[in-house]
Amino acid sequence: MVIREEIEIAAPLAIVWNVFSRLEEWDDWNTACQSCRLVEGEGMAEGACFSFVVRPFSLPIEVKPKITDCEPGEKVVWEGTRLGIHAIHTWTFQEASGKVTLISSESFSGPLIWLARLVLVPQRLHTLTRQLLVSIKKEAEARYRSQKVS
């Protein structure tokens, strides 16, 4: 099962990366997941582990992925296993003409995928992914506008 979504952000890559890579600030602007914090490591870097809470339904689910690949401003991959399902989330940043296309691709595998589909988890997670991308876009564009005014 794969969930893929992308969004165009009218801000330079440096600003988009700054918004995305500062995990400790996600709670300030992010509406898709809460209680984001580093568990081990130094920020957005390979080997770092962090934690956040999502609510695909009314019950919160804590997720603790590990960053397995990080090329600042280009790509971030994190992986984790929860409730019998392994997820690999890849974020790709593409800059052209002063805008950034942010691509999110999350693949899921494991013995409980059939159950996840049955209770509509993919649709809920797709909604959360879209919500996170929109939050990143709004924050990056707001920072860019305020930088241009200053």
**Position with higher pLDDT, 100 vs 31:** 100
The crossing angle, in degrees rounded to 10, of helices 13-21 and 121-149 is 130
Structure tokens at 51: 């934690």
pLDDT at 116 over 60: no
Q: What's residue 82's pLDDT?
A: 74
Specify the CATH class of 2-149 in words: alpha beta
Q: How many alpha carbons fall within 13 Å on the CB side of residue 53?
A: 8
If pLDDT is split at 50, 70 and 90, which confidence band does 61 have? confident
If pLDDT is split at 50, 70 and 90, which confidence band does 138 have? very high
What average pLDDT does this structure show over 123-148? Answer: 90
Contact 91, 103 (CB under 8 A): yes
pLDDT at 93 over 90: yes
Vertex 128: Cα angle to 8 and 99 (nearest 5): 10
